[in-house]
Amino acid sequence: DKVVVDDTQGANQAVKHLIVKGRKNILLLTTQDYITVGRLRTQGYIKAILDAGLVLDNDLIIKVVDTHNSNAALPALEAQIEKTISKFPHIDAIFAVNEIYAAAALRVLRQAHIQVPDEIAVVCFTDGLISKFSTPTLTTVSQHSEEIGKKAAEILINRLCSDDNEALPKTEVIKCTV
């Protein structure tokens, strides 16, 4: 049994939020496709862009190479963000699939003297400590961790109390909000 969030829906909602705010050139910071979460969140980004009638520009998608070493990965990501923003000065928003990528973006934007959110808005997936304590604080996709915990506990208790040892595992999907 497992309880998961709807990564595609959450990313789609986040990018639609940016579009509603007038943002049209949205940089995506994501993982390589073999990481399911990144792939699903990328799909949500793409769907929102296409549904809004915007042009999908693959040059505005940075797929971060997973080195399992953030000390090496973050400077490389920051260099990629800096290069992309310099090459495409029309970028007016960034959607990051996690808080670490968003924090890297904030750092690059601060060093480039780009005002967040006035010049470039930043939204990230996950509403954890990094986004709460960053400057400025980040708009986030909430995964509703309390709801996930309650649902997981409910499923576990039901499983433990059940006499049906043949019951198939189930997956509960929790919707995200921005």
pTM greater than the 0.85 cutoff: yes
Successive 10-residue mean pLDDT values, the chain, 178 residues: 95 98 97 93 98 97 80 87 97 96 96 97 91 88 93 93 85 92
Under DSSP, is residue 12 helix (H, G, I), strand (E, B) or coil?
Answer: helix
Nearest CA to 56 out of 35, 28, 29 is that of 28
Report pLDDT digits (tens) over 8-21. Answer: 999 999 999 999 99
Asked if 13 and 177 count as a contact pair (C-beta separation under 8 A), the reply is: yes
Nearest CA to 27 out of 56, 66, 67, 70 is that of 56
